[in-house]
Amino acid sequence: MNAQAITTEPAVSGTTDDGTGGPTSLWDATRSFRPALAVLCVLFVVLSLANADFRTVGNLENVAVSVSILWMIALGATFVQLTGGIDLSSGAVAALAGICLAKLLATTVPGPLVIALVILFGAAVGALANGILVGVLGLNVFVVTLASMTALTGIVSLWSDTQSVYVTSQTVTRLSSGRLLGAPVPVWLMLLTLAVFLFLQTRTYFGRDLYAVGGSPVAARLSGIRAPRTLVVVYALAGAMAALGGIIAVGRVGAAAPQPDNSLPLSAIAAVLLGGTALAGGAGGVGGTALGVLLIGVLQNGLSLSDVPTFWQQVVTGAVLVLAVLGDRGYAPRGLVARLCRHRPRVGSPA
Check if the beta carbon of residue 121 is closer than 8 Å to that of residue 243: yes
Q: What is the mean pLDDT of residues 16-40?
A: 57
Predicted local confidence at residue 29, as pLDDT = 60
pTM of the predicted model, to two decimals?
0.80
Exposure of 347 by Cβ count < 10 A (0-12 exposed, 13-18 middle, 19+ buried)?
exposed
Residue 348 pLDDT class (50, 70, 90 cuts): very low
**Helix (H, G, I), strand (E, B), or coil: what is residue 6?**
coil
Check if the beta carbon of residue 294 is closer than 8 Å to that of residue 37: no
pLDDT in tens, 161-197: 888 888 887 888 888 888 888 888 888 999 999 999 9
Predicted local confidence at residue 303, as pLDDT = 77
Residue 25 pLDDT class (50, 70, 90 cuts): low
CA distances from 327 to 194, 267, 321, 344 (A): 24, 16, 10, 22
Q: What is the mean pLDDT of residues 51-59?
A: 80
CA distances from 30 to 25, 66, 134, 195, 214 (A): 9, 26, 31, 17, 20
- Close Cβ partners of 63 (under 8 Å, ≥ 6 residues apart): 294, 297, 298, 301
Q: What is the mean pLDDT of residues 300-327?
A: 73
Residue 256's φ and ψ, nearest 5 degrees, are -95, 125
Helix (H) or strand (E) holding 164: none
Predicted local confidence at residue 340, as pLDDT = 38
pLDDT in tens, 230-275: 899 999 999 999 999 999 988 888 888 888 888 888 888 888 888 8
Distance CA 201, CA 187 (A): 21
CA 298 to chain centre: 16
Distance CA 146, CA 217 (A): 22
DSSP 8-state symbol, 278: -
**Helix (H, G, I), strand (E, B), or coil: what is residue 148?**
helix
Check if the beta carbon of residue 293 is closer than 8 Å to that of residue 306: no
Question: In the chain, what percentage of residues exceed pLDDT 70?
Answer: 81
Check if the beta carbon of residue 324 is closer than 8 Å to that of residue 270: yes
Distance CA 215, CA 19 (A): 14
pLDDT in tens, 187-222: 899 999 999 998 998 888 888 888 888 877 777 777
